[in-house]
Amino acid sequence: MQLPHLIGLAQAELTDFGAGLGEPPFRARQLFAAIHRRRLLSFAEMTDLPKELRAKLSEQTVISTLTLESRYLSSDGTRRYLFKTSDNLPVETVFIPEERRDTICFSSQSGCPLQCTFCLTAQLGLLRNLTAGEIVEQIIVALNDAYGAGVKAPRGTNLVGMGAGEPFLNFEALMKAIRIMAEPSGLYIVPNRVTVSTAGVVPRIRELATIPDRPHLAVSLAAAADELRDQLMPINKKWPLRELLSACKDFEKSLKPNERFTFEYVMLKDVNDADEQARQLANLLNRYELRAKLNLIPHNPAEPLPYHPSSTERVESFRAILESKGIHAFVRRPRGRDILAACGQLAARSVSEARP
């Protein structure tokens, strides 16, 4: 029998669970704060809880379920974690320190069912959806590794759902995790600091627009013409660009005054990086008059993927064409390349295994 995973319980669920053990609501609040605000992952450290209660909890529940298998530290400070779930499936998380904030890139699934041809995770296929607890736990372990359990992070934390998996195919667990992390008595990472990236699950884009406490949205494009996008991101056969962009247009109505959503465009040498394709992309976005910004992501080469990164000059020329047509385009600096932590490289591989 699986024991309840406490990290995945919202405040109210924890209160109900505590009531079942005969505990008053304030004990559940203490426990929630111990796990989520102080980030304590062992009952022994929760010395403000009575010993008998800790003993009962450790018999009947588990706080954490992920096991840290490997941890890689990049020369640029980026950290990559490879966890195993209790059923032995890989989960990867990346911690990216920046001057004014930290960004944690979390996974929503183990593997991924979508088959984007430029992404290594795709080669694992879908192993399974992660639970809300397994999503939140990635954040807690990364913060503890960077700062120590119980130590307040010195900078704000941004979260991006751009690790392994398509977050919108695990929507309920994702939204539950985001709500647990937003609790002021816990991690207090509000949805405004969270961005979720989709390959284009159109019904969920529309659903997200209706949720008041929603995170920001990013959409991965990779091509501005259906024929090429069908090849690079086969999900396009189900929801082609016309449907995707009109869902984005509808989503735009839910944007707050200073909010923009983001398109991501991975740059693949001689595949989607020609001047003509930049014009095609600008025309597509302009046709829908979208209040969006565009991130150009230099592809991160990884065996056995058949792609190469576009040259710096090519990326710059592509960006300049977009800007000349009124599209705000930014080139995303790759982080953690030396530890295979960059976009599209998460596939549960160890660094030594990947080097010749």
Choice between 207 and 323, CB closer to ligand SF4: 207
Are 269 and 310 in contact, with CB atoms under 8 Å apart?
Answer: yes
122 belongs to the binding site for ligand SF4 (CB under 6 A): yes
Binding mask 332-351 for ligand SF4 (x = CB under 6 A): ------------x-------
Query: Exactly one of 52, 137, 343, 353 is catalytic; which is it?
Result: 343
248 belongs to the binding site for ligand SF4 (CB under 6 A): no
116 belongs to the binding site for ligand SF4 (CB under 6 A): yes
* Cα separation, 352 vs 356, whole angstroms: 8
Count Cβ atoms below 10 Å from residue 325 Cβ, excluding itself: 15
At its nearest, how many Å lie between ligand SF4 and the CB of residue 121? 4
* Cα separation, 83 vs 138, whole angstroms: 9
Are 141 and 81 in contact, with CB atoms under 8 Å apart?
Answer: yes
Choice between 15 and 110, CB closer to ligand SF4: 110
The C-alpha torsion from 206 through 212 and 215 to 217, rounded to 10°, is 30
User: Is residue 92 annotated as a catalytic residue, yes or no?
Assistant: yes
123 φ/ψ angles, rounded to the nearest 5 degrees:
-70, -15
Please identify, among the stretches 16-24, 92-100, 117-125, 146-154, the one whose residues bind ligand SF4 according to the rule CB under 6 A.
117-125
3-class secondary structure per residue, 322-354: HHHCCCEEEECCCCCHHHCCCCCCCCCCCHHHH
* Cα separation, 211 vs 174, whole angstroms: 13
Q: Write out the binding residues for ligand SF4, residues 23-62 only, by CB under 6 A.
A: none
282 belongs to the binding site for ligand SF4 (CB under 6 A): no
Tokens 């022994």 belong to residue: 44
Here the tokens at position 154 are 């010195």
Choice between 231 and 317, CB closer to ligand SF4: 231
Choice between 25 and 234, CB closer to ligand SF4: 234
51 φ/ψ angles, rounded to the nearest 5 degrees:
-55, -40
Choice between 122 and 135, CB closer to ligand SF4: 122
Contacting residue, 82, 114, 194, 224, with ligand SF4 by CB under 6 A: 114
Query: Exactly one of 23, 92, 137, 264 is catalytic; which is it?
Result: 92
Q: Which of these, 188, 195, 247, lies nearest to 216 by C-alpha position?
A: 195
Is residue 126 within a helix (H) or strand (E), and if so which, with residue range?
strand 126-129
Please identify, among the stretches 45-53, 113-121, 201-209, 330-338, the one whose residues bind ligand SF4 according to the rule CB under 6 A.
113-121
Please identify, among the stretches 119-127, 243-251, 257-265, 329-337, the one whose residues bind ligand SF4 according to the rule CB under 6 A.
119-127
119 belongs to the binding site for ligand SF4 (CB under 6 A): yes
Buried b / exposed e over 199-237, threshold 16 CB at 10 Å, is bbbbebbeebbeeeebbbbbbbbbbbeeebbeebbebbe
264 belongs to the binding site for ligand SF4 (CB under 6 A): no
Dihedral sign, Cα of residue 275, residue 279, residue 285, residue 286? positive
Choice between 31 and 120, CB closer to ligand SF4: 120
User: Is residue 343 annotated as a catalytic residue, yes or no?
Assistant: yes
Binding mask 183-212 for ligand SF4 (x = CB under 6 A): ----------------x-------------
Choice between 142 and 305, CB closer to ligand SF4: 305
Binding mask 136-175 for ligand SF4 (x = CB under 6 A): ----------------------------xxx---------
Are 201 and 166 in contact, with CB atoms under 8 Å apart?
Answer: yes
At its nearest, how many Å lie between ligand SF4 and the CB of residue 210? 23
* Cα separation, 121 vs 349, whole angstroms: 10
Positions marked active-site: 92, 343
Positions touching ligand SF4 (CB under 6 A) are 112, 114, 116, 119, 121-122, 164-166, 199, 344
